[in-house]
Chain A
Amino acid sequence: MKVFQLSYDVAIVGMGAAGLQAAISSSRKKAKTIVMGRSEDSALHGAEVENYFGVLRATGKELLNIGMEQARSFGAKLLQEDIIEMSSSEGAFRLLSDSGTEIEAKAVVIASGIMRKKLKIPGEKELFGKGVSYCASCDCNFYKGRPVAVIGAGSEAAVSAELMTHYASKVYWVAEEVDASENLREKALNAGAEPVSSPPKEIIGDDKVSALVLEDGSELEVNGVFIELGARSTTDMAMDLGVMPTPDGEINVDKDFSAGVEGVYACGDITGKPWQVAKAAGEGGVAGEMAAKYARGL
């Protein structure tokens, strides 16, 4: 029998305004709560806030720091790690972090925000579907025995670079400074991904990708360019819990912020616009409370 390292009532994915407010509300409802993610990845982190009730002016970073302190004060556990896998069985959810921590929970709140997907370099749009891909796990099979580049510094890129070593003849992992956990970084490098630190400048090819040009002027001869920015895409993982995201990568919710699967809730930017701290916090408050009630059988 599998023994889980950590067991919680409510596991919250995402450490921005929605996730932290959900953690505050859930732990105040006496649910054993964990919130996971990197607060610096939150869209709020780099923002100046002046449109949020009760706050004249503050940096997002200040609000996040206070939010983390508040969540802790009510008993929530904070884990500054990315989640890279989610699954469910027999009414329990299992989450795996990039450092290898396993968490079991009775309810999950998805508050991971909207990820930036596009790199916005020349050739990216023109060659999409002709060698440019945003989904290594979808398209790996088409690159058997061919050289590819994986662009991105976070856990998504690390997982993809490792995956592609099983298919491609050569994998360049293009990242100025790797941001993924040591565990994932080692896995990708040990599997044979070659690190490249110069930023990407342009993707070239006529009808098919033929090379990736770097800022330092060098060219990588590749047939595939996988753009995998940021953390592991939560909408992708949510599908393993039975949640069906919209084509825009958003998660539809009902008035209780249930994502359509028993025990799974979503809040914040991932449920759609407006991407405002007021909406994120408001939704997080309801989602956290509903998840806590569900987990505690209230």
Chain B
Amino acid sequence: MFTITLRTFRRLSQLFFLALFFLLFRLTDYSGLDEIPYAVNIFFRWDPLVAATVLLSAKVLVSLLLPSLFVMALTMVFGRVFCGWICPMGTLLDGTGKVIHASAQSSQSLRPVKYILLGIILVTSLFGLQLVGYLDPFSLLVRGVTLAVDPVFNLLVTGFFDTLYQYAPQWLSNISEPVYGVLQDSVLPYKQTFFQLSTLSGCILLAIVALEKLEKRFWCRNLCPLGALLAIFSRFSIFRRFPKRACRDCHYCAPNCRMNAFDPESRQLRHEECTLCMDCVDDCVNQPSRFRFAVPEGQKQIDMSRRAFIGAGLAGITLPLLSKVDAAHTLPRPFLLRPPGAADGNEFLSRCVRCGECMKVCIQNALQPCFLESGYEGMFTPRLIPRLGYCEFNCTLCGQVCPTGAISSLSQPEKHGFVIGRAVFDPARCLPFADQSPCIVCEEHCPTHDKAIKFQEVTVVNRQGKSVALKQPYIIPELCIGCGICENKCPLPGDSAVRVLRAGKQSEEDGFGYGG
């Protein structure tokens, strides 16, 4: 029979926040208004790990990240409830654990790894190298869902309905199309997206899930640096399990603990490893165990040796040094365009937490994750690839959803003047030059006022020896903002005959820029 226990409330809370996560994910889109009226990036804004690394690496206090203080305060009172009751990654792993059952014996030997990773991330960020995006659970999750899960989900569903639409008898598609319409208005993304690194992002997420086969919540126990940070703060918390020890001769709570938080020797609960899932309270058959407010006392040190601590520190110093001598930063990257409103090179990299929100919200699917173009530490940072999608002139969404200010939120007039690059023609391929045939599709689409692409009316002799009047386009660099619509719409096959090169603020730091 179903009885309401503490576990019921925990599960409801987990489901609520998981649903909230996916709802906000879906709302990270154009809604018909120029502004997104919801704090769709709240999971990043209350993430203390994001706040800490941005504070250390960019040396600024980002007011957007103040909600992280709330999670800190919550942890300092109640311990790691965030991990057990809120975190959508934890919820997904709990759900997976119902299907994939851990096969290996639990051990606690890998537990310090998360502290080491946290140490490395914090120390490197102090030296301006931002690595949090590799390991922050929300960065991994939002990016994985944006770049891989959501596009695949849409591909499967639309593929199914498209097949019915095209090949099934009329009566069947008369039924399937309205169903498809309802899905489009609810769970499906507005349109099919395509991303670079989709396979890699999907595989990273899959690997985290697959680790459930080794241990329950393997990620949370051993790897999650946010969990490690909250663990450290939970040592001050005053809401604790009583009794502290698992009972002798009873095999309910300690072996079943999803965090394996009981010390095998002393049977004592390591409070900082506990996510307050309440399983041990609900399942207790002996003396009534419970959580109550109590002053912390007699705690062990956190599960990290001094050597590991020093090692993490050294690694945290070495990685930024190695990054400094990476040729990726000295090689000019003329086609590496950053989103409109992006901070200058180094500040951008130190603020960006690779959360993928900007790529999710980009209505032209133009923002794509970098691979190694700006070094390994720039992996998954956003770049504009105009041939895939251009930057919509009146759209300011990427700056609105960026949780750290790596892309600042621009007003529409600011956006209209923000230079992300400059277009350059290749007359060897451009039709009115190379083929003596009319085109100027680029001029038609150029959105700036006055147009940055103009044309010269010339009379040339074509290959047939006929004299033809042509309009040959050219760029006015002072007017071009590098939105890339010209590159996107150029009707040539393959590469466009007009390409956007890095310019403006972004180009100053590497001394590369075209047209000032």
The judgment on whether A and B are partners is no
